[in-house]
Structure 1
């Protein structure tokens, strides 16, 4: 039986080419990696944790919001990926959109106030290709991130060299996309198949959960994702701890000793190893209570650094490069 409620008729929509959009960002936002003079002490500790996790072949997980890409941090991340210091990346749907638009058109980001006034916001032809890419990928068993990365690489899009999805696909690093239906502009499009998006994104959630199975002795980093990152991390961690509990008596499996890092703009106190009181607005900042307190309470370590992505990611990269340089000199 069909729904008793009326659905919006998507055939009424008009999509325009990206060439007619005034985009706010172009490929020149992508920065070349440059050493920073000062580095937050927490990044020095995380660099050491990443190196140890790599040596032990444990999880090195990066979770991020779309503003990381809009800040031009791609090449810093590429360097960390190529060094083997990131072996899984989790993103939201907006990351896929910005990455794909930059790869295919060399520009991204529209002025919401301009285009919402005439109802053109989000309705751009080329961006909607993401829906077809994901639908085709699902038919062959791929998740969202793998399908997008594969397409960008195999179709040799004009700016694939700055695509996080393409780099991840080439390096065989899973990049998982965690979508909320209706959150992203491609969900406005007539070719959007909610079932395919749901199936692809759920496959990515299971891929992400499988990566957490090697989190003991590993690292999870979150740059700028206040909802997606802590929520999928919390559920996936519960799943893998539940499964590990069955075999714990046999081979002493546990997922307790690992490090978490959160980088955001919230003004948190110096001490983040205990929760904010429930009568404080900070209590509802999920990365704090979830990633910095509750999930590391049984033996983990957590760090918080306040700052813009254009500062925190270069500082992390600098800390890693200096650590490697010191190790080479000592060796």
Structure 2
């Protein structure tokens, strides 16, 4: 993969992709925070397993998402598919009326209220332990819980299908997502010389990120060297201003379909990690051989 990536033209997005790869590898080796924010379409297009693998490898250290991403994530874990087919369902009044999704999200909100935790933690724990989801291994929220990294869910009331159902406690939902925002502020405060990825969220996550940056700086945290990256299908105003230009030292944008761009990004990072480990192994082996040769000659 590394050889193939180096054959790409030294132009435009190919240059930016290699730069993003190098930033990730360097920040990961330096122990810096790499956080990922995403919108629902990233989950719906089947990209969660790539992000889960980067969590497993210790590359991604925090995940933030809007409400639709969390809903798609749960439905894929629970049923292996989403309930959303807007064009077909909206004329019949069926859009967003899946009973299981609404009931289980209401349970997650109640769990968060009872246990004084964020919505991301509650949903991850319930997917992993309570609901016997047959596809929990592809849940990004559950993976964050398993690997003990922050997963925050940022809800805008009225934007998600679960808000249409009477069993949802609005006060508890607000409390849970507000706690998640405060957790995210703590994550952002650790982004000095770190990386923030915005994947496919055009409005909510860029706005949330900007406020979290303001909180972190107001509390005296230094965000010098923060690099922000936006992957999306098209250029958007809020991602350009609130992610790429205003918050950090450098902003990088690559436009492309999630189902192509995110696997390519993942493959580039994994190849870089493997190449680095191979080099470390070879250098360690050479050192051992050199030390053994020195000892042999000393004895002789």
Identify whether the pair has TM-score above 0.5, normalized to the shorter chain. yes
Q: In the aligned structure 2, how far is the partner of 1:36 from the partner of 1:311?
A: 19
Q: Could you report, residue by residue, the CA deviation over 1:275-326 in whole angstroms, capped at 9, with x for unpaired residues?
A: xxxxxxx6xx111112111212xxx122110100011111211221221232
Report matched runs for 1:195-234 at 5 Å.
195-234=171-210
| 2:156 aligned residue (143, 159, 180) | 180
Q: In the aligned structure 1, how far is the partner of 2:40 from the partner of 2:2?
A: 23
Paired position in structure 1 for 2:261: 312
Q: Could you report, residue by residue, the CA deviation over 1:203-246 in whole angstroms, capped at 9, with x for unpaired residues?
A: 000010000111001000011101112101100101111111xx
- Count of aligned pairs: 271
Q: In the aligned structure 2, how far is the partner of 1:70 from the partner of 1:76?
A: 13
| 1:79 aligned residue (47, 53, 59) | 53
- When structure 1 is superposed on structure 2, of 45-54 and 228-237 the one drifting more is 45-54
Paired position in structure 2 for 1:103: 77
Q: Which SS does the other structure have where 1:108 is aligned?
A: coil
Report matched runs for 1:109-188 at 5 Å.
109-128=83-102, 129-155=104-130, 156-188=132-164
**Structure 2 portions without partners, runs of 5+:** 9-13, 281-300
Q: In the aligned structure 1, how far is the partner of 2:32 from the partner of 2:270?
A: 20
Coordinate RMSD, CA, aligned: 1.9
Q: In the aligned structure 1, how far is the partner of 2:164 from the partner of 2:62?
A: 29
Q: How big is the shift at 1:202?
A: 0.5
Q: Which has the larger radius of gyration?
A: 2
Paired position in structure 2 for 1:289: 241
Q: How big is the shift at 1:36?
A: 10
Q: Is the Cα contact below 8 Å between 2:154 and 2:177 reproduced in 1? A: yes
Q: In the aligned structure 2, how far is the partner of 1:202 from the partner of 1:148?
A: 15
Paired position in structure 2 for 1:49: 23
Q: Is the Cα contact below 8 Å between 2:152 and 2:184 reproduced in 1? A: yes
Q: Which SS does the other structure have where 2:246 is aligned?
A: helix
Q: Which SS does the other structure have where 2:253 is aligned?
A: strand
Seen in structure 2, the aligned counterparts of structure 1 residues 35 and 48 have a Cα distance that, compared at 3 Å, is closer
Q: Is the Cα contact below 8 Å between 1:134 and 1:196 reproduced in 2? A: yes
Q: How big is the shift at 1:58?
A: 2.4
Q: In the aligned structure 1, how far is the partner of 2:152 from the partner of 2:58?
A: 17
**Structure 1 portions without partners, runs of 5+:** 1-33, 245-252, 268-281
| 2:218 aligned residue (233, 242, 248) | 242
Q: Which has the higher helix share?
A: 2
Q: Is the Cα contact below 8 Å between 2:193 and 2:226 reproduced in 1? A: yes
1:192 aligns with 2:168: yes
Q: In the aligned structure 2, how far is the partner of 1:150 from the partner of 1:326?
A: 35
